[in-house]
Every structure is written in structure tokens, then in C-alpha cells.
Structure 1
């Protein structure tokens, strides 16, 4: 039945039979047949059907919560059995906000070095998608902001606190400055992350606090696009300091720290709250806590 429950979760998550089938790597007729078999086993209709997906029935809404719990428990049992052979193995799936991808790569590499039988997959997503994917068991963990917007029921481990910098061409107006303030950016042409990103909402608040109204020349959910745009004379972007320095390396871009504004927000590992966690998640939390650059509060 576990495979049928996973089919049901996929359809409910994607709200589309075709996309769910593609996600699971099966044909749509196989998916439809699996859902029908599950409904027959449970004795209730789970999905409203018509010419297309019509949502969940009342029974389907209740079943979805139980299905997530059952599938999560089954995966935990599988991981416990693998761990009983004195190794952590399997796939580690991480969803990560774009500005934390550099840290995610470091965490995944360290984890793979410690556990060579683990294969890691890192996906770039916004913070809302990350929480949804964790809740729907699409990923095992996420890297996101911990203290800016509500996380719901989650276990977290802080990794670092952001500070911000301006990334611009060496000919840019601020390129030779030791630092700039948020108010200096009033009227400046900026390329920024799209509005669905928490980082963009943080940028907007810092700028609004000082009454700065930059000219938004471009928006993108890709850091590569923002950096490439900043290489052009006359446009700049704002990024966390460590990300800005990585993107500037070898590209001849200037990195200028931004001083003042609100304290930087904390980014960390987010996993589904569960007691106990699987051996893989326990090991991942341990490694994240070992990597943390956030000082302990006395």
C-alpha cells in the first residue's frame, strides 16, 4: 500500500495527474489505476474526478495527513534498517533558498565525505516552496531563513547570519568605496531577486526603512543572472556578503559591504519535526551544528 499512498501524495501535491505521474516516473494510466486501487482498499473516494483533477474530497483531506505520516514512518523504518548495517545510505534531498546554495554545497560535500553511500540532490527553491516540499515529503530537509517568517512545526539548526554587500562592475559609482549605506542606494539601478523570495522582502524592508527608492532594472530568481547584470556598467545587485564574493571571484566584479540597517537574518537547516528523526536526518543535524557560524547565546 505504501506505493499507492506515495501516488496519492504526489497527485495531491501537484494537483495534476500528468505532473504527478512524471514526478514519480510512471505512466498516467498506472497512476490512475493505483489511486483507484487505494480508494477501493479504503472504501472511500479520495479525489474529485472530472475531465481533470478536481481536488480532494473531505475524506481525501483526512487521508492525506495520515498518508504523509505513514509514508514518513515507512521511510524512517527503511533508514533504520539500513543504519542497522552500520552505514547511512540512500538519497538526501535538499531544497535551498538561492542565497544559501554555496552553504548547501559545502554541507552536502561534508556529509557525503562522512557517509559515502549517500547521494545528495540539491534543488533551488523559495522559502515557501521549501516548507511545502518538506511537509509533502518531496525533500528530506531545507536550508532557509529561521527567524524572518514563520516556519510552522519544524526542527532547525542555525548555520550562519547574513550580512549584505553590493556587487557591481569595477567602473560602477560605488566600486571604489570602502562601504555604502542603505540610504546611498536611493535612485540606484539595481538587479534583485524576485518578490517571491524572502531575501527580496528583506532587501525591500532595509531600503524602505531609510526611504530609499532604487530603480529596479531587472528581477530574477537566478543569482547568475543578477551577477551577469551587475557586470554591466551602471547596474548593481545586493547579495549576502559570502555569496557576492563567490560570484565576484574571477569575474572582476567589486564587492562593497553595506553598513547599517536591520541585523542580518539567520539561515539554517530545516527538517520535519519528528521523534525520533531518521539516522540520516540525525546525522545531517549533527553536521549542520558542527558547521554553524552563529555564536551561542550565553
Structure 2
């Protein structure tokens, strides 16, 4: 068995699943393009503000999207689905964010928060990737921005054995509790 792990935008993920080039995908489940796919919800992603300075006035409570829009931000590039969700939250709040850096790398986001004094809005699931140090804080935002994340696959009846095994294992992981604990451990 050979495993290939790819990072794809939602459009490419769906297209490759449709062409039988991929067996499984992990994506936002609140996407109308997923009609006709089998889905398995795994966790609800919650976004947090990454800040280097825990004494920042917005760090004393849950910052609003208007508060966040005033900060020098580093965000993912506009072609990323996560960024489109964040942009929609700013639009809904009636504000335009002050974006000073865009990247397609979540590790670059963290590095710029930690070393350049910028701020970022990231999914709490990414906190496990970062070497969180005392000088970096993850702060829940208000109102909360959250989306359901899960596995998707084409409908096969029966499901191929390897896909079914991965599906069953993922369903038993308890990811929501594990990821929510990351926020509690940092704050």
C-alpha cells in the first residue's frame, strides 16, 4: 500500500475524487458542491486570533472582527477556502481588514506572528502544528467563525476496504475534544 497525502484547494479535491484519482478527501462539509459525495463529520473548526502580545487590549476578551480588522494581519492567500471564510466574516462585520502579508503557508503565518509582530486568524486545528511558546496566544473571536470539517468520498457500495478502514478509524478519533483542548492549553 502506498499513501500519497496532498494539500489541494476544494475545487481540485472534488475534481480528483470525481476522476477516481483520490480515494478520500478532508474538507469543509458546508459546501453545496458535495452533493452526491459520502461525508463523515470529524470536528467543528473554530477560528482564533494568533497574537504575540497577550497584553494587547483585544486579548483581554473575545475580540470582534472589527477589532481584528484594525490589526496588522498576515492571512492565507485569497484563493484558499479558509481565507474566503475569514473575508466573509469581515464583510459581515462591515469592515475591511488591514492585511500586510499574504501567504499560502500556515507555518509562515505563525512565523510572522511570532517574529514580526503581525497577527493572524487561523483554525484552531492548526494549533497542533505550531510550536506554541509563551509569547504567542490563541484568542477565540467574537462572533465565533466555525465550520464542519470531515472526510468525503465518492459513493461506492460497498466502500473499498482501505477506504472503509480509514473512514472507521477517523470516526473514532474524537478530534473535537482533542482540538478544543489545544485552545484551553494555550490560554
| TM-score after normalising by structure 1 | 0.54
Gap runs ≥5 in structure 2 = 178-187
- Of structures 1 and 2, the one scoring higher in RCO (CA 8 A, sep 6+) is 2
Partner of 1:122: 5
For residues 134-283 of structure 1, what are the structure 2 equivalents within 5 Å?
134-170=17-53, 173-174=56-57, 176-244=59-127, 246-250=129-133, 252-262=135-145, 264-283=146-165
Using the TM superposition, give the Cα deviation of residue 288 of structure 1 relative to its aligned residue in structure 2, in angstroms.
1.9
Q: Which runs of 4+ in 1 moved over 4 A?
A: 292-295
Using the TM superposition, give the Cα deviation of residue 244 of structure 1 relative to its aligned residue in structure 2, in angstroms.
3.3
Cα pair 1:194 1:221 within 8 Å, conserved: yes
**Closer/same/farther in 2, CA of residues 168 and 183 from structure 1, 3 Å limit:** same
**Closer/same/farther in 2, CA of residues 139 and 197 from structure 1, 3 Å limit:** same
State how far apart, in whole Å, the 2-side matches of 1:166 and 1:294 are.
Answer: 19
Cα deviation, 1:20-61, whole Å, max 9, x if unaligned, reads: xxxxxxxxxxxxxxxxxxxxxxxxxxxxxxxxxxxxxxxxxx
Number of aligned pairs? 177
Using the TM superposition, give the Cα deviation of residue 248 of structure 1 relative to its aligned residue in structure 2, in angstroms.
4.8
Query: SS at 1:128's partner residue?
Result: helix
Is 1:287–2:184 an aligned residue pair?
no
| TM-score after normalising by structure 2 | 0.83
Gap runs ≥5 in structure 1 = 1-89, 92-119
Aligned Cα RMSD in Å? 2.4
Query: SS at 1:271's partner residue?
Result: strand
Partner of 1:3: none
Q: Tell me which protein shows more helix as a share of its residues.
A: 1
